[in-house]
């Protein structure tokens, strides 16, 4: 099962900004009950968000982020079926919106299709699992945990491991609504696991061979590139400025509200002027995307907490839109960036204005932790509306739930039984 | 390594004054700024610094943001402080991230909630402007010291006492639940304390001074940013000039340094419900015949805390307290989790000490994890208050608990991070829907604690809050020069 990760991006009519913000606030205030965008009814949806960028050069931009199961058409159908009214009201505030009423189905969907932006790079924390499957597997865990509670007494399990497992299996079998657990495929097929890895390494080997084969041309080009890069790295200005208390205060109003502290972050960074940085950024994003396809255990460069993240070059490549749906606090997320994924993200954001000083594209940069965080906050925007279909689950718990289910009826060696029981 | 400017640093930063066993914290309000400043000028020479030990008493002083404003600090300078300090502890957002819900929510506090919007409905407290920290070697000396200080601020006519929080002598270093406390503590580079900590606990984590003092290099290798004033606001040049081209974040070069040698002080009054805690453990460990099992009861308590009552770590002593019989205390602290106890079979993943400092356990490898965890350390300076409960299981109706005090140069990255990302995180370390069993926000979950065990974990249900937040505030603990500057303000 593959996911779609995309945004609809539209410009807002200047005289409609206030009205749109009011509407988005209404939606956010009663997120699960409101009928404008009844997110819980969208069975294909994982995460969605709406937010604005107000920029002197690029005007007011509305981004509607969607991460969902399957292809766009099926999702649009669902969206139109449940949220036509809300969409119509929202996009009536936007430039060039042609539909005069929600009855104009083709006009509305055509408008959305025309405004789709597919990211240059994206990451999916739990590939292969639909929103419905994630919910089912969470219910299965609840059943297993409750059953396990009955199998211990005063801190001691009553039975040996193999018997405990049989009791747990029997408890699931007794419940007809869990019959799906017996005949469901693993989260990813063999091909889905292996092909991205082959593609990734194949590309690296191919690139290496090309560089070696045409070394008379490629080596001087690379050296020239590095000279220009180093000069720019020494001279590009970095973020200097007092902390923007009001702006950050506004951002934090939206944070840490879900039970397990899932959070959302959206930012619009400005790509440094000139072709050099833009081409570098495009190349880096292409590479990150290739690498991200091989991340199948919920980790992106050692960061274990990202559900969906995307990077999109917008406004003719002059701005970099980043959206992320992650577990834990913002501070923790940024720390993970700094401690675990510094080279990758430095390679991306060092091509945008104000980023901390770097060396050779991937060194330094985010390691200047306080400046990196101040810079990230400065370009982050307020998320007006944000919805998560499973706000109590982390990337890692979703993965653990899948592992519990996949091995539920598998024949396991004694050590495997131990490992399986430890997942509870 | 930069030398610490000890004469300008308040003593509490580098010492917990263990030789002074009695303490009192006086919460004050500014009623007349010029008179209050005159009083500050009077006592600024008597503030204990990090230079030389005082055998009888020690005195330190700290300010809230509204307090600094009332003393006349200019608006520009007031904005150069960090956001948590400016906003204060009792906001809706902070209540959320610190876990102050239910009875612990700011509207119910006994002090410190004056800037909380909803306080008016319940119990508005008078605003706290100044915190005076008094330490003395014994009860009589402390009483005399309190009277002397009282006389001086009453005579000044500029400040008024709101509340006196006393922390009397305790028989030993155990907190009220009965567990040896205050063992793990980072060491400030340049403080000369490393060897002593090494001897005391067989382990010392030395961190750059900038983690606990503004104006010094921090763990990110940049100068810990602090507040500053424009040169025109310091005509007497009481404050050092910030050199240009520092690596500091917003290059305040040329301005005068108000933060240097100062830090932020977090104060939270945590009432402990000792009988609730032990009665809960007793009920959870009764045998099939409903008889109490005192050994299992203490064992479960140790699983909650992560250390035995003696202080011995469960990682090193998974089976029993090595001092169960002799009642001795131990400060042994030389252990990690990844190598010996990655699964939490000895010290549960969700236990209090493992959450409060996960050491090498949260990360792709032990070294990265340890480095990352060390960016979120705090310097604890709190003390227990109230008498010991004679029988752990019998509620005597006496108020007791912990005056939790910690120091850090970045409240958001240190104290608040610990509360939000570790203590109150339901998914901490791969756990599922539980928070710190001792100090966590147990109002928002069904109150659960998983005790990892082979072959199958057990879960303890229906935990409730064993502590209640009674009050709290964020303070700025200035350097001595900065204190003199505040005393000399003219507006």
Contact A5, A119 (CB under 8 A): yes
| ipTM of the complex model | 0.90
Question: What's residue B252's pLDDT?
Answer: 74
User: CA-CA distance, B476 to B470, in Å (whole number)?
Assistant: 20
Question: What's residue B337's pLDDT?
Answer: 95
> The tokens of B282 are what?
């007793």
User: CA-CA distance, B4 to A98, in Å (whole number)?
Assistant: 68
CB-based burial label for B207 (10 Å; 0-12, 13-18, 19+)? middle
Name chain A contacts of B342, Cβ cutoff 8 Å.
none
Question: What's residue A198's pLDDT?
Answer: 94
Strand B130-136 and strand B22-30: the pairing is antiparallel
| Residue B316 CB neighbour total at 10 angstroms | 18
Strand A319-327 and strand A121-124: the pairing is unpaired
For residue A238, what pLDDT band results from cuts at 50, 70 and 90?
A: confident
SS3 A158: coil
Locate the chain A residue with the closest alpha carbon to B424: A260
For residue A184, what pLDDT band results from cuts at 50, 70 and 90?
A: confident
Name chain A contacts of B86, Cβ cutoff 8 Å.
245
Name chain A contacts of B87, Cβ cutoff 8 Å.
249
- Would the CB atoms of A148 and B225 count as touching at under 8 Å? no
User: CA-CA distance, A333 to B62, in Å (whole number)?
Assistant: 32
| Residue B237 CB neighbour total at 10 angstroms | 10
Q: Is the pLDDT of residue A158 over 90?
A: no
Give the length of chain B: 491
Q: Is the pLDDT of residue B119 over 90?
A: no
Question: What's residue A404's pLDDT?
Answer: 93
User: CA-CA distance, B437 to B301, in Å (whole number)?
Assistant: 10
Q: Is the pLDDT of residue A230 over 60?
A: yes
Nearest-10 Cα torsion for A276, A282, A284, A286: -160
Facing B364 at nearest CB: one of A154, A240, A302:
A302
Contact B81, B476 (CB under 8 A): yes
Name chain B contacts of A239, Cβ cutoff 8 Å.
249
Strand B263-272 and strand B228-229: the pairing is unpaired
Nearest-10 Cα torsion for A128, A131, A136, A141: 80
Give the length of chain A: 424
Contact B421, B440 (CB under 8 A): no
- Would the CB atoms of A302 and B343 count as touching at under 8 Å? no
Locate the chain A residue with the closest alpha carbon to B372: A339
- Å from B481 to nearest chain A CA? 23
Q: DSSP label at B312?
A: -
End-to-end CA distance of chain B: 39
For residue B485, what pLDDT band results from cuts at 50, 70 and 90?
A: very high
The candidate with the shortest Cα–Cα distance to B350, out of B455, B447, B465, B444, is B447
B250 touches chain A (CB under 8 A): yes
Residue A410 pairs with which residues in a beta bridge? none
- Would the CB atoms of A243 and B82 count as touching at under 8 Å? yes
- Would the CB atoms of B426 and A418 count as touching at under 8 Å? no
Contact B279, B393 (CB under 8 A): yes
Q: Residues near A274 by Cβ (< 8 Å), separated by ≥ 6?
A: none
| A116: Cα within 13 Å, side-chain hemisphere | 17
Q: Is the pLDDT of residue A152 over 90?
A: no
Q: Is the pLDDT of residue A309 over 80?
A: yes
Q: Is the pLDDT of residue B472 over 80?
A: yes
| Residue B160 CB neighbour total at 10 angstroms | 15
Facing A249 at nearest CB: one of B87, B430, B452:
B87
**Is the bond leading into A329 cis (omega within 30 degrees of zero)?**
no
Candidates A163, A331, A398, partner chain B, best to mutate (most B CBs within 10 A): A331
> The tokens of A144 are what?
């297993």
User: CA-CA distance, B407 to B409, in Å (whole number)?
Assistant: 7
- Would the CB atoms of B371 and A339 count as touching at under 8 Å? yes
Q: Which B residues, 372 through 391, put their C-beta within 8 Å of a C-beta on chain A? A: 372, 375
Locate the chain B residue with the closest alpha carbon to A302: B364
User: CA-CA distance, A419 to A413, in Å (whole number)?
Assistant: 10
Question: What's residue B205's pLDDT?
Answer: 92
- Would the CB atoms of B80 and A145 count as touching at under 8 Å? no
- Would the CB atoms of A328 and B427 count as touching at under 8 Å? yes
Q: DSSP label at A352?
A: B
User: CA-CA distance, A363 to A367, in Å (whole number)?
Assistant: 8
Facing B220 at nearest CB: one of A332, A370, A422:
A370
- Would the CB atoms of B222 and A370 count as touching at under 8 Å? yes
Q: How far is CA A218 from the centre of its chain?
A: 35
- Would the CB atoms of B426 and A151 count as touching at under 8 Å? no
Q: What distances in angstroms separate CA A402 from CA A419, B101, B292, one per listed residue?
A: 14, 33, 40
Q: Convert B85-120 into a string of H (helix), E (strand) and C (coil).
A: HHHCCCCHHHHHHHCCCHHHCHHHCCECCCCCCCHH
User: CA-CA distance, B382 to B219, in Å (whole number)?
Assistant: 24
The candidate with the shortest Cα–Cα distance to B376, out of A68, A264, A335, A54, is A335
End-to-end CA distance of chain A: 26
Q: Which B residues, 131 through 190, put their C-beta within 8 Å of a C-beta on chain A? A: none
Q: Is the pLDDT of residue A367 over 70?
A: yes
- Scanning A115-189, the segments in alpha helix (DSSP H) are 131-150, 161-173
For residue B113, what pLDDT band results from cuts at 50, 70 and 90?
A: confident
Question: What's residue B71's pLDDT?
Answer: 97
Locate the chain A residue with the closest alpha carbon to B459: A149
For residue B32, what pLDDT band results from cuts at 50, 70 and 90?
A: very high
Q: Is the pLDDT of residue A186 over 90?
A: no
Q: How far is CA A167 from the centre of its chain?
A: 38
Q: Which residue has the higher pLDDT, A1 or A317?
A: A317
Facing B456 at nearest CB: one of A151, A252, A331:
A151
Facing B458 at nearest CB: one of A155, A253, A374:
A155
SS3 A134: helix
User: CA-CA distance, A188 to B13, in Å (whole number)?
Assistant: 54
Facing A155 at nearest CB: one of B79, B288, B453:
B453
Q: Which residue has the higher pLDDT, A21 or A182?
A: A21
User: CA-CA distance, B330 to B203, in Å (whole number)?
Assistant: 13
- Would the CB atoms of B455 and A160 count as touching at under 8 Å? yes
- Would the CB atoms of A371 and B364 count as touching at under 8 Å? no
- Would the CB atoms of A418 and B80 count as touching at under 8 Å? no
A242-267 confidence digits (pLDDT tens): 678 889 989 988 888 877 789 999 99
**Sign of the C-alpha dihedral, residues B111, B112, B115, B116?**
negative
> The tokens of B418 are what?
């610990």
Which domains occur in chain A, in start order?
Answer: 3-118 (3.30.70.100), 131-186+394-422 (no CATH), 190-388 (no CATH)
Please give the radius of gyration of chain B, using alpha carbons only, rounded to the nearest integer: 23
What mean pLDDT value characterizes chain A? 92
């Amino acid at each position: 099962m593959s996911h779609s990760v995309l945004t609809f991006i539209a410009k807002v009519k200047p005289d409609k900004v206030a009205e749109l913000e009011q509407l988005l606030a209404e939606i956010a205030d009663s997120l699960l009950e409101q009928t404008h965008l009844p997110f819980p009814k969208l069975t294909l949806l994982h995460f969605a968000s709406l937010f604005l960028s107000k920029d002197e050069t690029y005007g007011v931009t509305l981004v509607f982020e969607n991460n969902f199961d399957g292809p766009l058409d099926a999702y649009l159908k669902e969206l139109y079926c449940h949220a036509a009214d809300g969409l119509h009201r929202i996009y009536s505030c936007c430039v060039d919106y042609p539909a005069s009423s929600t009855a104009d189905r083709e006009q509305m969907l055509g408008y959305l299709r025309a405004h789709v932006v597919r990211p240059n790079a994206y990451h999916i924390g739990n590939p292969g699992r639909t929103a419905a499957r994630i919910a089912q597997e969470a219910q299965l865990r609840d059943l297993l945990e409750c059953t396990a509670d009955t199998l211990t007494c005063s801190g001691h399990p009553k039975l040996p491991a193999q018997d405990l497992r049989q009791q747990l299996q029997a408890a699931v079998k007794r419940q007809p609504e869990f019959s799906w657990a017996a005949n469901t495929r693993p989260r990813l097929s063999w091909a889905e696991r292996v092909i991205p890895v082959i593609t990734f390494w194949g590309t690296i080997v191919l690139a290496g061979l090309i560089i070696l084969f045409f070394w008379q041309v490629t080596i001087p080009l690379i050296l020239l590139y590095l000279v220009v890069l180093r000069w720019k790295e020494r001279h590009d200005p970095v973020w200097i400025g007092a902390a923007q208390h009001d702006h950050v205060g506004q951002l934090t109003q939206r944070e840490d509200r879900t039970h397990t502290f899932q959070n959302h972050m959206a930012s619009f960074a400005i790509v440094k002027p000139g072709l050099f940085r833009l081409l570098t950024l495009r190349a880096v994003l292409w590479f990150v995307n290739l690498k991200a396809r091989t991340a199948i255990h919920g980790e992106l460069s050692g960061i274990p907490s990202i559900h969906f993240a995307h990077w999109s070059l917008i406004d003719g490549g002059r701005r970099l839109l980043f959206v992320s749906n992650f577990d834990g606090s913002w501070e923790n997320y940024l720390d993970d960036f700094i401690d675990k994924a510094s080279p990758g993200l430095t390679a991306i954001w060092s091509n945008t204005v104000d980023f901390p000083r770097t060396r050779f594209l991937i060194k330094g940069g985010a390691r200047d932790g306080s400046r990196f965080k101040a810079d990230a906050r400065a370009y982050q925007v307020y998320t007006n509306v944000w919805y998560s279909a499973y706000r109590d689950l982390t990337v890692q718990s979703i993965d653990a739930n899948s592992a519990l289910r996949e091995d539920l009826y598998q024949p396991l060696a004694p050590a495997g039984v131990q490992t399986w029981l430890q997942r509870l | 390594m930069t030398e610490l400017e000890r004469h300008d640093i308040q003593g509490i930063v580098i010492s917990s004054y263990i030789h002074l066993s009695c303490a009192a914290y006086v919460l004050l309000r500014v009623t007349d700024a010029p008179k209050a400043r005159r009083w500050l000028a009077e006592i600024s020479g008597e503030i204990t610094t990090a230079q030389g030990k005082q055998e009888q008493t020690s005195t330190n002083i700290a300010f809230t943001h509204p307090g600094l404003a009332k003393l006349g600090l200019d608006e520009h300078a007031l904005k150069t402080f960090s956001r948590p300090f400016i906003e204060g502890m009792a906001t809706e957002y902070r209540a959320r991230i610190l876990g102050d819900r239910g009875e612990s929510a700011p509207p119910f506090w006994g002090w410190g909630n004056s800037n909380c919007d909803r306080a008016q409905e319940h119990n508005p407290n008078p605003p706290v402007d100044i915190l005076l920290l008094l330490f003395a070697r014994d009860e009589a000396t402390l009483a005399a010291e309190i009277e002397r200080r009282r006389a001086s601020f009453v005579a000044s006519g500029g400040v008024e006492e709101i509340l006196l929080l006393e922390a009397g002598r305790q028989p030993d270093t155990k907190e009220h639940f009965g567990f040896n406390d205050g063992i793990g503590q980072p060491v400030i580079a340049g403080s000369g304390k490393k060897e002593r900590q090494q001897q005391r606990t067989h382990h010392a984590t030395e961190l750059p001074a900038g983690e606990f003092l503004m104006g010094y290099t921090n763990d990110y290798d940049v100068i810990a940013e602090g507040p500053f004033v424009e040169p025109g606001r310091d005509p007497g040049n009481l404050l050092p000039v910030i050199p240009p081209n520092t690596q500091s974040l917003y290059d305040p070069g040329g301005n005068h340094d108000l933060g240097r040698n100062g830090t932020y002080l977090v104060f939270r009054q945590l009432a402990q419900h000792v009988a609730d805690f032990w009665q809960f453990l007793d009920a959870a460990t009764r045998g099939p015949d409903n008889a109490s099992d005192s050994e299992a009861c203490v064992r479960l308590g140790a699983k909650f805390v992560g250390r035995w009552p003696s202080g011995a770590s469960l990682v090193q002593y998974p089976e029993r307290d090595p001092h169960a019989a002799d009642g001795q205390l131990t400060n042994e602290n030389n252990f990690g989790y990844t190598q010996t106890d990655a699964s939490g079979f000895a010290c549960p993943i969700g236990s209090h000490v493992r959450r409060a400092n996960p050491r090498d356990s949260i990360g792709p490898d032990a070294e990265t994890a340890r480095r990352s965890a060390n960016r979120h350390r705090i310097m604890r300076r709190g003390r227990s208050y109230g008498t010991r409960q004679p029988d752990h299981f019998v509620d005597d109706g006496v108020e007791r608990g912990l005056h939790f005090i910690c120091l850090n140069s970045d409240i958001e990255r240190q104290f608040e991070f610990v509360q939000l990302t570790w203590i109150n995180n339901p998914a901490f370390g791969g756990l599922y829907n539980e928070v710190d069993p001792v100090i966590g926000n147990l109002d928002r979950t069904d109150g659960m604690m998983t005790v990892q065990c082979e072959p199958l974990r057990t879960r303890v249900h229906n935990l409730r809050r064993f502590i209640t937040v009674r009050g709290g505030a964020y303070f700025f603990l200035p350097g001595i020069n900065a204190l003199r500057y505040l005393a000399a303000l003219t507006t």
